[in-house]
Structure 1
Amino acid sequence: MSLDAWIAVGVVLTIFPLMAFSRLGPDIILLGAVIVLMTLGVIDPQQALGGFSNSGLFTVAFMYVLVASIRETGGIDLIIRYVLKRPKSERGALVRLLLPVASLSGFVNNTPVVATYIPAVMSWSRRLRLSPQRLLMPLSFASILGGTITLFGTSTNLVVHGLLLERYPELGMGLLDLAWVGVPVAVVGLSYLILFGPRLLPAREGLANAFANPREFTIEMEVDPAGVLVDRTVEEAGLRHLQELFLVEIERAGNVVSVVGPGEQLKGGDRLVFAGTSDAAVELQQIRGLIPSRDGTSSLEKEFKERRLVEAVVSNQCQFIGQRIRDGHFRTLYGAAVLAICRGGERVKGNLGQVRLQPADVLLLEARPPFIERHRQSRDFLLISELNGAARPIHEKAPLAWGLLLGAVLLAAFGVLSMLNAAMLGAALALLTGCCSVGAAKRGLDTQVLLTIAASFGVGAALQSSGAAGVIGGGVLTLVAGNPLLLLIGTYCVVALLTELVTNNAAAVIIFPVVMSAAESLGVSPMPYVVAVMFAASASFLTPIGYQTNLMVYGPGGYRVSDFLRLGSGLNILTGAIALVLIPLVWPF
């Protein structure tokens, strides 16, 4: 291999462990790799920036706007309200949950679908007296299975199809071509989840009970009207820097002051709510001017329009990962106070200020109403929902938003417009009809995914132009002894393994040129391998970190990694076997 080829291979071998084990985002890692490759002359600026002009990338971006219009108008809430209802058995509940989720995910990005469903499922499971752990992991897996049915189903399908068109313009696929394999894979996968999910998943208490009793994680005191703290600020009263406690809110004359600042003045009869350890109550009782609360009910159980209790799932991209809550000034940055933390289905005991945040931790926060909208699209949180899953009201434009999405799908399916043009037209109409505001459209764009995709193209171009892809492809051919079927199986297994460790888009785009070079050397059709890359990149059922929806349900469901292995390993084997049998039949070598 040439020096450029060795550099390209070295960069790729560095990328994968960095994405799997570092806290840096995949977009930052891949953009850094592109900069290194361009600086060293492996790729030119046109190749480095080629991903930003790919049709697949722009189709994904416009689809995000269409999905934002459905979310903003409450379109998914509409389906939840009329479909879930009250089934007679646990398997009946799974049928009512999984079938619409899989169907939706064939045409709508599955992240907002799962984000909308999680609080509804938590509330629904309480009404049905079912453990949410029996429902949330199947919810994520069903959304992944549904995404394999169409080219619109996942961003990976659109991106790989964009790569295919660049390399073989005559081999373009129709919107529903994947359904020949995707529908059987989804049907068998959903059947597996419905039949074996109740047997293989645990029924621990989980998040539902971890935050159920506010008295377990809050302490309430009153300001003595005749005491020395009256008219003093929180800072002057020494309540700002307590060792094991946070002053969360002040209840005063039927109103509440939430997320209390250091300059807030105390009044006689104020009811102070602290979050922290029960042992720290002794410290509070020793402060002159504070007396135990005389009201029997917990302040957190009362409704105040100035306060919201929300659950937030910590993202693996959160800037506070590995930091203590107190050291990171969480309250200052977000304007929200941490009341409790749930990890692995159990509430974290002890001093909250000393807890180091981890990905998928579920935080019970007290915040002001604007917090939810301000941070709903934040990269720091995978999911933000009001306690008890309060659904937003159904907007009158929800049917119009669904109509625009359906129209875009039909135009693309019947070949009237290309997928890019159909998605672009749908997004434009969503903005013009008021289904989605410009601000909501901007928030709906997942810039991390888009940058990851664009940068992946640069890395893939380096493998291709340097000759590394051809050399590696030749080596792969030697390993599989020139057998097209063994190459197909190897392609599927490698991409499926990588997608468990890094992002599905990066795994697909970087492996694509290697597989294409191997197929060309073998003299066979590239189509079975293109489709295998699409399906394998979505087959992420073994770990919570492999796919964003898995991480979203990991915390609220109170799961452990072993739970994913128990249910997901069988699903991985089953769906992989079906895909590998059907792909060569639909797209012969």
Structure 2
Amino acid sequence: MGWEAWLTVAVVVGVLGTLILTRMAADMVFLGGLTILLLAGVLDPSEAFRGLANQGLITVAVLYVVVSGLQETGGIHWVVQRLLGRPRSLAHAQVKLMTPVAFMSAFLNNTPVVAMLIPAVNEWARKFGLSNSKLMIPLSYAAILGGTCTLIGTSTNLVVNGLVTERTGEGMRMFDLAWVGVPVAVVGLAFILLTTRWLLPERQPAMSRMSDPREYSVEMLVDTDGPLVGKSIESAGLRHLSGMFLAEIDRNGSVLPAVSPREKLQSGDRLVFVGVVESVVELQKIRGLTPATEQVFKLEGLRSQRIMIEAVVSGSCPVVGKTIRDGRFRSRYNAVVIAVARNGERLGGKIGDIVIQPGDTLLLEARQSFVDQQRNSRDFFLVSQVEDSSPPRHERAPLAIGLLGVMVVTAGFGWLSMLEAALLAAAGMLVTGCCTVETARRNIDWSVLLVIAAAFGLGAAMDQTGVALATAQTVMGFVGDAPLLNLAAIYLLTAGFTAVITNNAAALLMFPIAFAVSSDLGVSVMPFVVAIMLAASASFATPIGYQTNLMVYGPGGYHFSDFLRLGLPLNLVTALVAILVIPLVWGF
């Protein structure tokens, strides 16, 4: 090998070492490595950034827009609410959770699926007295396993398929992976159900040990002819809300305190809840409930374009000493007070009748411009936006789910390519108002796309300088000429890389090596390609091996060893199934 090859090896090892030993951002590390190769002349600009034009990368970016539409309309939450019910036991709860999660993750990027379900599972666990630590890792693992079943289940599948299309001219169809992905998912889910009782300990998340002193009293109205009318408090999911409780119901002027869970909701009921801000945000997203104050409907613009804001009232605020109504708060600030927190004291009466005092924390509904205008105002000590607080567009949820169905059907039957189907669905989300252009841009994870693009460049350097060929010959030197053993070696090497770096990067670094191995053996590359897809996607052994594992790490209160205890055996079980099934479907 020439100096270019040795420099490439040094850069790749340096990138991997930096990611393992430091907390530097993965996109910056990969771009740094690519820059060194570009400046040294190992790659020219067209080769270094060829990944930006890859179909797989573009499809991943477009799918973020599709998922954005489902998030903005509450589509995923709408589906989950109908699938999760009262569990009979822990095992039953895990089945009810993992089955729909795995199914949804087969057709949606699993990262946003898990992100949306974490608060729902928190609430569900508290409601039925279940341990979060017994549900959060199964949630992540089910999403990962579901993602192995279709071409769009994970970004890794799309990216590797893009490389195959470039090399061979033929890519995989949407459900081709199901032949191996479904057996892997079924065996993996069964393993989780059978072993979590012993392999997952009881943990208490750190957040559950902290109390929030800002408790708000919030009034919500049951929509006329809405989906909650006629349902009991229990069946409507309004009992034992996480961080919140239903204090009373005001029905036609009569107050019902200590509400029974069997009490049926009626049209126009005024429900009084008491809870922390995160729970108030979730409450605003429940279909069939709207804020009791009519002021929210007098603000300009759509509710979906607004956010929730916490603002602490200063002594110089002109509405101090006046009721919210008399102070004309909405007219003065173009914002509506949803709730008021005051030293943990419960404030009775209607929102408009509350007299504002210095130090009160107001929970407001307003546009982003309120934060920009009032951040340095003398009227408020502190103004902060509540994350992920825009009310969803519930009326468009069926439309968003329909657009997702169109994408799946057109791609699944081969009527459109995966990229074309995703572009069609994304355009539909924007044109029909399921999401806005601003929201879609904000929800695209640019750091993931940069890692993928930069990893393409490193993979190209390994291929052109002969590093991939030399690595392939080394692998073959250890395992011989047997295709099955080489397949196992490629799978395990990819899984090892994925445990310590990002899954997309691991797949892109291994692809040229797998291609070289298949060429030297004189066999089809497809078994090795599928092995890379499965090994890079099905990473369970460490919390850093897959993004969804990191997402549940805190909410589940886990230790690093918890992932090793359950994830390492699961990795080995799924690897065995995949290595045995892949040659039966894609022959050497």
Q: Same fold (TM over 0.5)?
A: yes
Mapped partners of 1:478, 1:150: distance in 2: 34
Please state how far the C-alpha of 1:204 moved relative to its aligned partner: 3.0
Mapped partners of 2:573, 2:471: distance in 1: 29
Mapped partners of 1:40, 1:31: distance in 2: 14
2:16 paired residue number: 16
Mapped partners of 1:534, 1:300: distance in 2: 54
Matched, 1:559 2:574: no
User: Structure 2 stretches of 5 or more lacking a match?
Assistant: 215-308, 322-340, 352-359, 365-371, 376-380
1:3-42 matches, within 5 Å, as: 3-42=3-42
1:124-523 matches, within 5 Å, as: 124-170=124-170, 172-207=171-206, 209-212=208-211, 214=213, 298-299=344-345, 306-307=362-363, 370-373=385-388, 395-523=394-522
1:232 paired residue number: none
| Deviation sequence 1:489-515 (CA, Å, 0-9, x none) | 111111101111000000100111011
CA contact (8 A) 1:457 1:509 kept: yes
CA contact (8 A) 1:307 1:369 kept: no
User: Residues 468 and 204 (structure 1 numbering): CA distance in 2 closer, same or farther, change over 3 Å?
Assistant: closer
Please state how far the C-alpha of 1:369 moved relative to its aligned partner: 6.8
User: Residues 547 and 300 (structure 1 numbering): CA distance in 2 closer, same or farther, change over 3 Å?
Assistant: farther
Please state how far the C-alpha of 1:90 moved relative to its aligned partner: 1.1
2:57 paired residue number: 57
2:88 paired residue number: 88
Mapped partners of 1:111, 1:551: distance in 2: 10
CA contact (8 A) 1:77 1:394 kept: no
User: Residues 268 and 588 (structure 1 numbering): CA distance in 2 closer, same or farther, change over 3 Å?
Assistant: closer
2:272 paired residue number: none
The amino acid that maps onto 1:192 is: F
Mapped partners of 1:148, 1:35: distance in 2: 33
| Deviation sequence 1:279-304 (CA, Å, 0-9, x none) | xxxxxxxxxxxxxxxx9973599998
1:329 paired residue number: none
CA contact (8 A) 1:541 1:568 kept: yes
CA contact (8 A) 1:214 1:300 kept: no
User: Residues 521 and 201 (structure 1 numbering): CA distance in 2 closer, same or farther, change over 3 Å?
Assistant: same
| 3-state SS of paired residue (2:513) | helix
Mapped partners of 1:555, 1:15: distance in 2: 27
Mapped partners of 1:301, 1:472: distance in 2: 69
Please state how far the C-alpha of 1:47 moved relative to its aligned partner: 0.3
Please state how far the C-alpha of 1:157 moved relative to its aligned partner: 0.3
CA contact (8 A) 2:311 2:384 kept: no
Mapped partners of 2:524, 2:544: distance in 1: 33
The alignment's TM-score, normalised by the length of structure 2, stands at: 0.73
The amino acid that maps onto 1:306 is: L
Mapped partners of 1:264, 1:156: distance in 2: 55
The alignment of Structure 1 onto Structure 2 pairs a total of residues equal to 459
2:112 paired residue number: 112
Mapped partners of 1:540, 1:550: distance in 2: 9
Mapped partners of 2:200, 2:110: distance in 1: 22
The amino acid that maps onto 1:526 is: V
User: Residues 483 and 299 (structure 1 numbering): CA distance in 2 closer, same or farther, change over 3 Å?
Assistant: farther
CA contact (8 A) 2:4 2:465 kept: yes
| Deviation sequence 1:178-202 (CA, Å, 0-9, x none) | 0001001111111112222233212
The amino acid that maps onto 1:149 is: C
User: Residues 259 and 24 (structure 1 numbering): CA distance in 2 closer, same or farther, change over 3 Å?
Assistant: farther
User: Residues 579 and 214 (structure 1 numbering): CA distance in 2 closer, same or farther, change over 3 Å?
Assistant: same
1:566-585 matches, within 5 Å, as: 566-585=565-584
User: Residues 436 and 267 (structure 1 numbering): CA distance in 2 closer, same or farther, change over 3 Å?
Assistant: closer
User: Residues 464 and 373 (structure 1 numbering): CA distance in 2 closer, same or farther, change over 3 Å?
Assistant: same
Please state how far the C-alpha of 1:174 moved relative to its aligned partner: 1.0
| Deviation sequence 1:14-60 (CA, Å, 0-9, x none) | 11111222222111111111111111010111101100110101111
Mapped partners of 2:176, 2:84: distance in 1: 30
CA contact (8 A) 1:20 1:501 kept: yes
Please state how far the C-alpha of 1:175 moved relative to its aligned partner: 0.6
The amino acid that maps onto 2:387 is: I
Mapped partners of 2:435, 2:184: distance in 1: 34
The alignment's TM-score, normalised by the length of structure 1, stands at: 0.72
CA contact (8 A) 1:307 1:368 kept: no
| 3-state SS of paired residue (1:306) | strand
User: Structure 1 stretches of 5 or more lacking a match?
Assistant: 216-256, 270-294, 309-331, 336-365, 377-391
